[in-house]
Amino acid sequence: MKKIAVLTSGGDAPGMNAAIRAAVRAGLYNHLEVYGIIRGYKGLIDGDIRRLESKDVSNIIQRGGTILKSARSDEFRTKQGRDKAYENIIKLGIEGIVAIGGNGTFTGAEIFMKEFGIPTIGVPGTIDNDLYGTDYTIGFDTAVNTALDAIDKIRDTADSHDRVFFVEVMGRDSGYIAIQTGIGGGAEMVMVPENPDSIEGVIDTLSAGRDRKKSSSLIVVAEGEDLGDAHYISVKAKEMLPHMDIRMTTLGHVQRGGAPTALDRILGSRLGLAAVEGLLEGRKDVMAGIINDQVVYTSFHDSINLKKPLNKDLIKMVNILSI
């Protein structure tokens, strides 16, 4: 293998730059030519591909976002789009790809691999931490810390006004950010898609809190919560508890930005390196992850299709610790 390319695709995540830096430098260390594909699969189709040298990735480990930019490409979902992408790969003689992203990124990579046989290794980069085959995904820890910082601030104002706050955090289909933020922020309740919830349960929790003389309460709601979004749940709660002063806040994309935490920089560095080493060892069609501090390669098929279970004991813990 002489030439490899690196791309970031899907939602950006803090720590992706550390992974790019590691993949580029690991490639150069192993005497490979390294290319950066701009805007993920879109750039692969458009031919927006640039040679990267060591200096191109200096001074980025501490920066959020992705210097390679990211996109969600509809064209890559079509065979025509993927044919164009393959032409560009052949033109440059690229023999291996490091694809940094989440579920959608690996789905695209798996299809492309099957059609054209270009060895690809995935690096889990998503704030949602919803990929099977790794304890943590790049960006998750930073997103949780950003959400916690916001929650600490909301607590100040909630306490001053004796208010109930519903705070919605990201996580399209997963409650990982919500559960960690809820525990770290001392929430009264956490609502996640992995656990069935009801409005009655919310009312009981808030009423029990008031009975125990709690003046303010905070409920963290995952974006993917089945019952509805935090706005809907707060409106329902207001209808049933008109004597309580209830507010809601959606944290949104603020959770996707900012300087990566130490954990995300180190995770990104380890996985960027592991991806290149995996390619050189002849691996393909796998995601590099870290389980129990060891690098593990999991097939794209499993990382996409198997569900990483959320530890339900943590939900119980939130209830116990908020009495």
Tokens of 250: 């959606």
Backbone region of residue 206 per phi and psi (left: phi > 0; alpha: psi in -120 to 50; beta: other values): alpha
Q: Which of 12, 46, 128, 173 is catalytic?
A: 128
Kindly list the residues in this chain that would bind ligand F6P in the complex (CB under 6 A). 11, 102, 126-128, 170-172, 223, 256
128 is catalytic: yes
271/265 Cα distance (integer angstroms):
10
Select from 103, 143, 133, 148 the least CA-distant residue to 255: 143
Nearer to ligand F6P, 12 or 188 (CB): 12
Select from 85, 118, 124, 166 the least CA-distant residue to 270: 124
Scanning 186-283, the segments in alpha helix (DSSP H) are 199-211, 230-240, 262-280
Nearer to ligand F6P, 172 or 231 (CB): 172
The SS3 assignment for 221 reads strand
Tokens of 239: 């209808």
Nearer to ligand F6P, 34 or 151 (CB): 151
DSSP structural state of residue 51: E
303/131 Cα distance (integer angstroms):
6
Tokens of 54: 């060591």
CB 75 within 8 A of CB 44: no
Select from 301, 260, 306 the least CA-distant residue to 130: 306
User: Where in the sequence numbering do the catalytic residues fall?
Assistant: 128
